[in-house]
Structure 1
Amino acid sequence: MTAQELVGVWRLESFRDIDGTGTPQEGPLGPEPRGLLFYSADGHVSVTMMRTGPAHTERSNYMSYAGTWRREGDRVVHTIDVAPEPGWLGTEQSRDLELEGDELVLHGNALVGRPQRRVLRWRRVAGDAG
């Protein structure tokens, strides 16, 4: 798998939390979130995700950040340069990745709140599959 295979635009298909027993649960943006993930060939990344339907008063309704990315084997590392939370700036967010054709699955940890394992499933909508 090459870094070039990630370049393009990806649409969020699902966002799930994984509980302590390994069981998928509804993610922080509800049952049908929307989102776009952009990986540029020159190493920039931008991700924007939102809740659809009614706003939730106790959970996030919108998440985003931007910065740079690099591949490290079966992982992708995002270095955050722009974010709604100052504490995210300059951090490196490492994601395990699975890529099969136009489907990308990223496994990582929550950026805020209690430690939480998350799985985000993306589908390619544009770009170069290498």
Structure 2
Amino acid sequence: MTNPNFVGVWKLVSWKTENPNGKIIYPYGKNPIGHLTYTQDGYISANIMKDNCLPLELSVEELIKTRKVFLNPWLLFRNGRKYIKAIIRYFKSSINYISYSGKYQIQGDKVIHHVEVSLIPDWIGKDLERTFEITDHELLLTTLPLDGSPQYLQWKRI
């Protein structure tokens, strides 16, 4: 069962957590970027990233060629520094990015995201449960604490 108030696209306003000592932590910085989409037919798509990810500085053609470079020692020798720099930036960026999608359902004050596709392979097939507070224009999702520290994601309807 879906909630019609959920349906639409939401923009991330903030993501914070408070550790057991009371210190506020911003896992994706103070200005994270993200979109959350809930569809009428029960699908969810979430994308979140830090706002200061470094560019890879490679063209689309070079990105396609990257795999071939690491399989060919001569290309790696000739262009290796550029590609290694891009790969390091890619891994730094992927640490600062989350994306997943699947079905969702509402149960009381909880929304459950049934993950079908994810940048984090361990989430595939898992249920991500969040409590929620919703108004016409704002959505607060709170993760259940895994380590005693719930996370609060504030969204604004686009």
Q: Same fold (TM over 0.5)?
A: yes
Matches within 5 A, 1:41-80: 41-54=40-53, 57=92, 60-80=95-115
* Distance change >3 Å, CA 85–CA 122, structure 1 → 2: same
Structure 2 Cα separation of the partners of residues 4 and 51 of structure 1: 29
Offset from partner CA, 1:89-122 (integer Å, 9 cap, x none): 1100110000122000000047xxx734210000
Sequence identity percentage: 33
The residue aligned with 1:31 is 30
CA RMSD of aligned residues (A): 2.3
Question: Which protein has the larger Cα radius of gyration, Structure 1 or Structure 2?
Answer: 2
Moved over 6 A (4+): none
The residue aligned with 2:154 is 121
The residue aligned with 2:79 is none
Structure with greater helix share of residues: 2
Shift of 1:47: 0.3
TM-score, length of structure 1 as denominator length: 0.82
Offset from partner CA, 1:30-81 (integer Å, 9 cap, x none): 1100000000000000000110125595x93111100010000111000000
Structure 1 Cα separation of the partners of residues 14 and 39 of structure 2: 22
Kindly tell me the number of residue pairs found equivalent between the two proteins: 120
TM-score, length of structure 2 as denominator length: 0.68
Structure 2 Cα separation of the partners of residues 6 and 14 of structure 1: 18
Structure with greater strand share of residues: 1
